[in-house]
Amino acid sequence: MILFNSSLVVDVVLTSVTIFKNNIFPTLFPFFVISDLLISLNFVSIISPILNKFLKPLFHTSSNSNYIFLMSMLSGFPSNSKIAKSLLDNNMITVEEVEHVLCFSHFSNPLFILGTLTVFLNSKKMGFIILIIHYLSNFIIGFLRRNKVVIKTENSNFINKNSKPFGTILGEAISNAIQSLLLILGTLTTFMLVSAIILKVVYITEPYATILRGILEMTQGLKYTSLLVLPLSFKALISLAFLSFGGFSIHIQVMSILNNPDIHYLPYLKARILHVLISTSLLYLVYNFV
């Protein structure tokens, strides 16, 4: 199919690069670099105990797990896996705690929601509503899962022994960020190509084609949702569902960045399905009764 549809392949690849250039790289690169720097400079040991006072009663998490939660809120997925891997590699968090916090740190970048998604839906008000519900749903999932893990790294007792010059630390942070972003670009392109080939072979009406695109790759699902002839409320529900699930492209990115066979995928998948159910139910209630 790739050989006989070379023009389609080229178009999909160029589209994926455009999405990456305009929507993904600008929002994730700074946060990837900053998070690596903060971990290397032992910032986690400073901020984690403060976060622990507020988040431990809610989520039954260790102080270092709470750092993943906070940074994920600011930067969006798949940064949760990037930060979790850094903490795991430094023995600051256990595999069980990584599995736990991944389930409720699935945040889309706020700049993406308030920028790109707001443009797609042509409604700033709906963009803010989706942002609040998307974040609130993660809090609810974290609270529901609070008894699913045993905390083993209660205290943030990691001592930074990194004696490298700051320039070296910065260079390594940039290199790690580029490597992770290239993985994201490759995964994004692959899943967009898969959906394009499927839709070339099998005829599916546009609404169902949009759902297929969104399940495989979130960003293109959001784009095509905005083109559907539907009321704003329906578009918002579908868009929020895509954000909450993330698409299998995001799932693969998360597990590939972690690159740890001891971390199970099934809890993360179940949490994403639960995220869809909770977030869309909340949006339906807000839109119809508030």
Assigned domain for 265 exists: yes
Q: CB neighbours (10 Å) of residue 258? A: 23
Assigned domain for 246 exists: yes
Assigned domain for 158 exists: no
Angle between the N-to-C axes of helices 247-258 and 218-227, in degrees from 0 to 180, rounded to the nearest 10: 160
Q: How far apart are the first and last CA of the chain?
A: 49
Domain that holds residue 20: 6-153+164-289
What pLDDT is recorded for position 156?
47
Assigned domain for 1 exists: no
Q: Verify cis geometry, omega within 30 degrees of 0, for the bond prior to 165.
A: no
Assigned domain for 88 exists: yes
Task: Count up the domains in the chain and report the number.
Answer: 1
What does DSSP assign to residue 290?
A: -
Assigned domain for 98 exists: yes
Assigned domain for 278 exists: yes
Give the span between the Cα atoms of 240 and 224, in whole angstroms.
14
The pTM for the full model equals 0.86
pLDDT along the chain (290 residues), means of 10: 86 92 85 84 80 84 86 86 88 90 92 88 92 96 83 52 77 89 91 91 90 92 92 94 94 91 93 97 85
Q: Which amino acid is at 34?
A: I
Residue with tokens 């399940």: 215
Q: Three-class SS of residue 206? A: helix
Assigned domain for 244 exists: yes
